Structure 1
Amino acid sequence: MTSEQAPAGMVRVAIDAMGGDNAPAAMVQGALEAIAGGGIVALLVGDQTALEQQVAHLDLSKLPIKIIPSDGVIKEGENPVSALREKPKASISVATQLVKLGHADAAVTMGSTGAAMAVSMFALGTLEGVERPSLGGPIFSIAPKTVVIDLGTNVDCRPAQLLSFGVIGSVLANKLFDVENPRVALLSVGAEEGKGNRQVKEAYDLLKQSGLNFIGNIEGFDVVAGNAEVVVCDGFVGNILMKFSEGMGVVLEGWLLQSLEAHLSEEAAADVAREIRSLTNVVEGAGGGPLLGVDGAVIVGHGRAQATEVAKAIRMAKYVVDIGFVASLKEELKRVHERVSA
């Protein structure tokens, strides 16, 4: 089976098998778990020798898996643009190029988010009206259909970018979480119109004209309460909010284990503690989410991901392709920007 060919109904997913803290073992095992669910051809992109060692016990002729050689890995901490120039055949670059060339339908990486953004912009380009890709999604399981965008890829934003986040988040909530007419809100220091910094105030006016179901400003409490399906903020605020949530879950898990041991069995206390952690660590449960605003399906996951999270990210890639997410986003972005420009 080649990367160009796949049975009808199968989604070809190019997997950056060298990206992430637990690569390549977790990536290969995750791919095996993902293909077990059917409908996926896994294209493992990475060092050929290392990957062949990982699958030596398998008969690949009977599995929808193919190894695609690459040369080099871009790691967290490296300057993405410089690294891409120095390593043009790095695994994330080759995986994304497969999507550009039509040899894969989606790409998945647990490696450097900066590298994924850079190569996606260069290889796939951004959709009309989008300056830079963004990341967004639910961050609290207690509010599972509340999308926060941006989560860290754009720390300095112009008001027009926040408008794009609102459009992207609305399509994300509708397509991925089946929310009809999602409520879109700006995260601010007060709910009243006129509250917030200059960026928020100017974005407020743009969102009012957008035709989205814009409900105005909301505060931090409203995010957890699920009082909007789309929460718009710049990546500086969004990333702090997400990591605060994740950190709180980890700390509370340990605290609850100690506090409940005198009242519950060890097993019951551990169940409660794990549940609290899961409520504040959505990415661990989802595996990853789409890089939003690029002209192709690219899924970015957590660098610490184990095989189970990798498999979920690969299944997410299939779902994004199956529902035509990128095409829907392209159409909605065009509609909103025409309305605001009129």
Structure 2
Amino acid sequence: MGGDYGPQETVAGAVAAVTEGKGRVAVLLVGDAEAVQPELERHNLQGLPIKFIPSEGVILDSESPMQAFRAKPKASAIVGVGMIKEGYADAFVTMGSTGAAMAASALLLGMMEGIERPALGGPIIGLAPKTVFIEIGSSIDCRPSQLLDFAALGVAFSRTYLEVSDPRVGILSVGAEEGKGNRQTKEAFPLFQASGLNFVGNVEGHDLCGDRVDVIVCDGFVGNILLKAFESLGEGLSRYADAAAVGRDVYNMLNRIEYTGGGPLFGVRGNVIVGHGRASSTGISQAVITAARLSETNLAGQMEEELTALRARIAG
């Protein structure tokens, strides 16, 4: 039900995902019957592993997620995440309210030990498809210890999902030297040094598309501005490209999330993918495939193990 074009594009994306997946995925479409059923009738679903699950109401971006959680207990996001909790689904994909997905995930699935709230992260730049950025929007003001937790989550994602054997970690700052940055990054630096992670030090803006680091850590305020700046740059440059194909290539190189469809919520005990509200059926299809792979790799379990190991190293 979420997103700028739901449920029309959502249903079309689900059909594309199960068709392209060739038996790899089955989709449970959660939403209001009056809105979803007409869209289902537009497609030939014979033999496709798609099932409709009714829900009541939608949590909007303009609403307080926690208040809506109490007022709309049968809303689509709550029903969808609840299906993971009850063992009926392996992952949840939404293009709707990020706050709703975070609240439902934290309350229904629970948080990993020591993690206060879900974090957003993953590759965001097509020019650096294996560089993980964390955090990119859910935690605006972070303590240095939270940045270290983000690093552990990012390392687990890099190792498990992107198959980087020993991910290199850096703190995004205004200079490479240890003393550079604001109070947050300066206080985080010694914590990272003592963490046992493969910490390479501070990284700067000109390192974002290079090969110096695999996991770049920052707070959500900086990360979200960075994400949207690259997306805007991709849109702007693609308009000035001479050929349509070139324009699309430029756009894709700077908008990695458009290719993957969305990114996981880090730190929750389950697989939850949050995508762009503006996502088309193509992006939604990719998000479903991404969710399937997260489930297959047991990413949530790998993240918990990485956090446990981090805490043991610090305590020891």
| Corresponding residue SS for 2:209 | helix
2:141 alignment partner in structure 1: 156
Cα distance, 1:49 vs. partner? Answer: 2.7
Structure 2 Cα separation of the partners of residues 199 and 142 of structure 1? 28
Structure 2 Cα separation of the partners of residues 153 and 60 of structure 1? 37
Structure 2 Cα separation of the partners of residues 60 and 147 of structure 1? 37
Cα distance, 1:61 vs. partner? Answer: 6.6
8 Å Cα contact 1:129-1:334 kept in structure 2: no
Give the alignment partner of residue 291 of structure 1, picking from 246, 251, 265: 265
Structure 1 Cα separation of the partners of residues 238 and 46 of structure 2? 45
Cα distance, 1:202 vs. partner? Answer: 1.6
Structure 2 Cα separation of the partners of residues 195 and 311 of structure 1? 42
In the alignment, is residue 99 of structure 1 matched against residue 73 of structure 2?
no
| Corresponding residue SS for 1:66 | strand
Structure 2 counterparts to residues 114-263 of structure 1, below 5 A: 114-257=99-242
Cα distance, 1:102 vs. partner? Answer: 1.0
Cα distance, 1:101 vs. partner? Answer: 1.0
Structure 2 Cα separation of the partners of residues 274 and 31 of structure 1? 23
Cα distance, 1:341 vs. partner? Answer: 2.6
Return closer, same or farther for 1:57/1:186 CA change in 2, 3 Å cut-off: closer
**Range moving further from structure 2, 284-293 or 45-54:** 45-54
Give the alignment partner of residue 282 of structure 1, picking from 237, 256, 272: 256
Cα distance, 1:59 vs. partner? Answer: 6.7
Cα distance, 1:205 vs. partner? Answer: 1.3
Cα RMSD between the aligned structures? 1.3
Structure 1 Cα separation of the partners of residues 192 and 207 of structure 2? 19
Q: Which amino acid aligns with 1:330?
A: E
Q: Which amino acid aligns with 1:23?
A: G
Q: Which amino acid aligns with 1:318?
A: A
| Corresponding residue SS for 1:83 | helix
Cα distance, 1:86 vs. partner? Answer: 1.6
Cα distance, 1:207 vs. partner? Answer: 1.2
In the alignment, is residue 332 of structure 1 matched against residue 306 of structure 2?
yes
- Segments of 5+ residues of structure 2 without an aligned counterpart are none
Give the alignment partner of residue 67 of structure 1, picking from 23, 43, 52: 52
1:323 alignment partner in structure 2: 297
Structure 1 Cα separation of the partners of residues 241 and 292 of structure 2? 37
Deviations 1:285-331 (A, max 9, x none): 11011111100000111101111111110111110000111111111
1:304 alignment partner in structure 2: 278
Structure 2 Cα separation of the partners of residues 118 and 130 of structure 1? 14
Structure 2 Cα separation of the partners of residues 211 and 168 of structure 1? 14
**Number of aligned residue pairs:** 314
Return closer, same or farther for 1:25/1:189 CA change in 2, 3 Å cut-off: same
Cα distance, 1:173 vs. partner? Answer: 1.0
8 Å Cα contact 1:129-1:337 kept in structure 2: no
Q: Which amino acid aligns with 1:105?
A: D
Cα distance, 1:58 vs. partner? Answer: 5.5
8 Å Cα contact 1:106-1:318 kept in structure 2: yes
8 Å Cα contact 1:138-1:144 kept in structure 2: yes
What is the TM-score normalised by the length of structure 1? 0.89
2:28 alignment partner in structure 1: 43
Structure 1 Cα separation of the partners of residues 88 and 25 of structure 2? 14
1:24 alignment partner in structure 2: 7
Cα distance, 1:60 vs. partner? Answer: 5.4
Structure 2 Cα separation of the partners of residues 131 and 144 of structure 1? 28
| Corresponding residue SS for 1:204 | helix
8 Å Cα contact 1:145-1:226 kept in structure 2: no
Deviations 1:51-80 (A, max 9, x none): 222222567573311111100011222221
Q: Which amino acid aligns with 2:213?
A: A
In the alignment, is residue 34 of structure 1 matched against residue 36 of structure 2?
no
